[in-house]
Amino acid sequence: MIRNKRGMNLLTEQVVFIILNVLFLSILLAFLYFQGAGKIILEKNTAKQIALLIDSSNSGTEIVLDLSNLNEKKESEVAWRDVVSVSGKDVVVRLDEKSEGRYTFFNDVNVRIDPASETSYRIVISEVQDE
């Protein structure tokens, strides 16, 4: 009954090709969506924003930041006091044990970052003491 078997193979190949392309594109879009809403980007963006805030502040400034979005995203084994810290001239944001966001500030100031509550941090910027 079917005389043109070659044409049927061509149609089958085209259908398989389209299905594989749709599958690949959906996996790619899912990956990009989860990367965009991921912890890594949140860590890096928060560290950068805090470092830029420190750079634009004068000594003697005290800032209280509401970081409730970090508290919702952090893993349970990370204590709230360890989520945001300063290491030298780097602001470090850590939401899990495996990764961290780090950004350097350039002002020559002393920075102390302490938890103010369960959802906020207090940043105190003071002058560098000459020794």
Pick the CATH number of 39-127 from 3.30.1050, 3.30.160, 2.60.40, 1.10.10: 2.60.40
* Residues 72, 57: Cα–Cα separation, whole Å: 28
Give the model's pLDDT for residue 105: 93
Q: How confident is the model at residue 98 (pLDDT cuts 50, 70, 90)?
A: confident
Nearest residue to 111 (alpha-carbon basis) of 98, 121, 101 = 121
* 30-89 pLDDT, tens digit each: 887 776 667 888 899 999 999 999 999 988 999 999 998 888 888 888 889 999 999 989
What average pLDDT does the segment 86-104 reach?
91
> Domain spans of the chain?
1-37, 39-127
Q: What is the mean pLDDT of the chain?
A: 87
Average pLDDT over residues 118-129: 89
Q: Residue 66 in contact with residue 53, Cβ under 8 Å?
A: no
State residue 16's pLDDT score. 92
